[in-house]
């Protein structure tokens, strides 16, 4: 089974407000994405799963557009590290996303530990004088356990920065050992993000770099699925599909030049290229 995840971040912000959304008005943005892709994904029903991680404001529209039995798994972008519990806390979580609230809205999956989330948490901790990266992993571990306890599947992101490349094994080992401590791993896939290679002007890694890292992750996790989190695109889909140790990818934008943004037809083309090359 392949795992082709879509992380839509804040791609709902209109171009005139500094964003990349040329697709649809904010109130129908998620519906447009789901409606524009769900029929095209049906042909892969027995071969792949398709979590789509939406900003919280859009999960209701996405779930309604997906409907019952859809190939699309509506997901949210992380959950809070504590959850609603009878006699403990019935919902006093202002600004946060308890797993219970997301499941109640139709969410079945979540992405946790994305490099942007890690950077945000580390920044908050540093303001408090804490520089221990293990603290970030402990917080993420709480989020993962909360999500799984509510029946959600989790895409757990790990990765090393440029200054960490020489000891990437230690970095990834810590993220895995702490982040997955006490976790029901049957509900988890791992997304490997080469943070050092993400962004304009940076050279993305090839199969010679990705394959041994994916093998390392599988060895450390007892064979969990590993997807490439550095960006599954049209120009690398065939290469990633050719790596036996890679079980899918994380898609974000589909167009990086000209009218930058996410476009459903281009997303389906990425899926087509990847799946066709998996079968070779």
E strand or H helix at 101, and its extent? helix 99-104
Q: Residue 177: which residues within 8 A CB-CB, separation 6 or more?
A: 220
* Centroid of chain to Cα 183: 18
Q: Alpha-carbon distance 92 to 112, whole Å?
A: 22
Alpha helices in 154-231 (DSSP H): 168-179, 207-221
3-state helix, strand, coil in the chain (%, to 5): 45, 15, 40
User: Does 114 participate in catalysis according to the annotation?
Assistant: yes
Burial (Cβ within 10 Å: 0-12, 13-18, ≥19) of residue 94: exposed
> How, if at all, do strands 109-112 and 153-158 pair?
parallel
Q: Which of 3, 58, 114, 143 is catalytic?
A: 114
Q: Alpha-carbon distance 147 to 94, whole Å?
A: 18
Termini Cα distance of the chain: 15
Judge whether 137 and 174 are in contact, CB under 8 Å. Answer: yes
Nearest to 235 by CA among 212, 258, 209, 257: 257
Q: Alpha-carbon distance 238 to 241, whole Å?
A: 5
Q: Which of 117, 143, 160, 193 is catalytic?
A: 193
Strand locations in the chain, DSSP E?
2-7, 48-54, 72-76, 109-112, 153-158, 188-192, 226-228, 248-251
Q: Find the Cα–Cα–Cα–Cα dihedral 127, 132, 136, 138, rounded to 10°.
A: -130
What residues are labeled active site?
Answer: 114, 193
């Amino acid at each position: 089974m392949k795992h082709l995840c879509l992380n839509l971040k804040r791609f709902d912000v209109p171009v005139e407000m500094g964003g990349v959304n040329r697709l649809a008005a904010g109130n129908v943005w998620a519906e447009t994405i789901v409606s524009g892709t769900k029929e095209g994904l049906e042909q892969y029903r027995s071969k792949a799963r398709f979590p789509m991680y939406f900003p919280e404001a859009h999960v209701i529209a996405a779930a309604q557009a997906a409907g019952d039995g859809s190939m699309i798994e509506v997901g949210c972008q992380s959950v809070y590290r504590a959850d609603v519990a009878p006699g403990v806390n019935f919902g006093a979580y202002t600004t946060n996303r308890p797993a219970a609230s997301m499941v109640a809205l139709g969410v079945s999956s979540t992405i946790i530990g994305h490099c942007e989330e890690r950077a945000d948490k580390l920044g908050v901790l540093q303001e408090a004088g804490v520089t221990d990266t293990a603290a970030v992993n402990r917080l993420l571990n709480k989020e993962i356990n909360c999500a799984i306890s509510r029946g959600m599947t989790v895409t757990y992101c790990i990765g090393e920065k440029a200054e960490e490349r020489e000891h990437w094994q230690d970095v990834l080992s810590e993220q895995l050992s702490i982040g997955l401590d006490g976790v029901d791993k049957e509900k988890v896939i791992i997304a490997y993000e080469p943070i050092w290679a993400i962004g304009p002007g940076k050279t993305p890694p090839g199969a010679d770099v990705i394959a041994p890292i994916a093998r390392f992750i599988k060895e450390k996790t007892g064979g969990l699925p590993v997807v490439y989190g550095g960006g599954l695109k049209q120009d690398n889909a065939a290469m990633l599909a050719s790596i036996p140790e890679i079980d899918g990818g994380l898609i974000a934008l589909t167009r990086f030049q000209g009218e930058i943004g996410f476009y459903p037809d281009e997303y389906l083309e990425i899926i087509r290229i990847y799946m066709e090359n998996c079968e070779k």
